[in-house]
C-alpha cells in the first residue's frame, strides 16, 4: 500500500431532482456558500480555477482544478487536480426515484511535501478528515437545494 495514494468513493442520496443537483455541482463558484470546508474559489481560466480547502485538521489545501469532462446528459463532472493535491475527481449525478444519486470518486496524491512526509503515520487521519468534509458537503448541498441558508464552522 502506497500511503501517498488515496482513492475515495462515496454516494450522496438527495431529495432534489438530478438536473438541479448537477447544476449546483457545476457552479463551483457557489461552493463556499454551501460547503463549509471550501473557503474560497477563484477562476483562473475558462475551464480552470483554484479552491482553498480546510477541513478539521489544521492545514489548508490550495487545489487547482481543470475541467476534463462536462457532460450534463450523462450527469458527469470531472476535473484534473494539481497543486497541494494531484489527481482527479468526478461527480456522477443520476436520477434516483424522485431524487438523485451522486457518486463521488477521487484518485489523488498529495502534492504538498509536508503531507507526503506525514502520509504513513497520519493516513487514517487524512482519510477521516476527507470523510468529514464530504459528509458536510452532502448536508450543505441538500440544504442549499432545499432553499435554506447554510451556516457552519469554517
Report field, pTM of the whole predicted structure over 0.85:
yes
* pLDDT tens per residue, range 67-88: 999 999 999 999 999 999 999 9
The domains of the chain, with CATH numbers, are: 6-145 (3.30.530.20)
What the block records as the C-alpha cell of 148 is: 435554506
- How far, rounded to the nearest angstrom, does the alpha carbon of residue 31 sit from its chain's CA centroid? 9
pLDDT at 31 over 50: yes
Q: Provide the phi-psi class of 152: left if phi over 0, else alpha when psi is between -120 and 50, else beta.
A: left
Model pLDDT for residues 94-111, shown as the tens digit of each residue = 999 999 999 999 999 999
Amino acid at each position: 500500500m502506497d500511503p501517498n495514494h488515496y482513492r475515495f468513493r462515496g454516494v450522496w442520496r438527495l431529495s432534489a431532482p438530478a438536473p438541479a443537483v448537477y447544476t449546483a455541482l457545476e457552479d463551483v463558484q457557489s461552493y463556499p456558500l454551501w460547503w463549509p470546508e471550501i473557503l474560497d474559489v477563484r477562476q483562473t481560466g475558462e475551464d480552470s480555477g483554484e479552491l482553498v480547502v480546510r477541513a478539521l485538521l489544521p492545514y489548508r489545501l490550495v487545489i487547482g482544478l481543470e475541467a476534463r469532462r462536462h457532460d450534463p446528459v450523462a450527469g458527469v463532472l470531472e476535473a484534473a487536480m494539481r497543486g497541494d493535491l494531484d489527481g482527479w475527481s468526478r461527480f456522477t449525478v443520476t436520477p434516483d426515484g424522485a431524487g438523485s444519486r451522486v457518486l463521488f470518486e477521487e484518485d489523488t496524491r498529495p502534492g504538498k511535501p509536508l503531507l507526503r512526509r506525514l502520509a504513513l503515520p497520519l493516513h487514517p487521519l487524512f482519510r477521516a478528515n476527507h470523510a468529514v468534509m464530504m459528509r458536510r458537503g452532502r448536508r450543505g448541498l441538500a440544504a442549499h437545494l432545499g432553499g435554506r441558508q447554510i451556516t457552519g464552522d469554517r
